[in-house]
Structure 1
């Protein structure tokens, strides 16, 4: 009889142990599902942030390309202006040298002009002198 009582007691203890294990497994599965949801939500939030950053980067890249184009155009214009200023300075220098009696070869060597430019300036200067002499 006593062994029957011990057997029943062990059977009840096993039942409660099994019940406690089932409750623990249920709670653990709920925590796991909750954790999976939070990980999934965090993943979605990170994807959204990456999309926002990517679109912002693309926009900034486009703006940088546009600014670079404008900068290149400005540099080209500046180079053109400098070369125009440089040529007018050499033309003015050539006129001064012609007033001092320089030759076409002197203009080519000292002003960096090509021979045709030097000859043209020399002819223009001579013509200008003739016109000013005729008007006096």
Structure 2
């Protein structure tokens, strides 16, 4: 069972929201991670690679800052096999392609802009997640 951590979850949500607002306010760009990564892949789609790289570098270096500040990292447990992780990653990649963006882009940024497409996508993500968890935990017994 996953341990619920309301303070850490709220803090993380606030930081994600703040980063999204700051990116929109300063550069007028949406903080969708799949779009950022897509803009870094060759061939370059625009001259905006600098801010994309800086945002992604911040996401990668933040754990090092946490380690330096606290002296430890949170325990991460992945109760799935490598095969399941690979299948899940492929399914997420397909979903990002067909859904015109990732969950962070639609859920955090798109819904904040009241985008009908993002609201529909986020509702689809949440319903599908609920059904998947129910089937895996209660039908399959995983």
Same fold (TM over 0.5): no
Return the structure number with greater relative CO, CA threshold 8 A, min gap 6: 2
TM-score bracket, shorter-length normalisation: under 0.3
> What is the TM-score with the length of structure 1 in the denominator?
0.24
Report which of the two has the higher share of helix.
Answer: 1
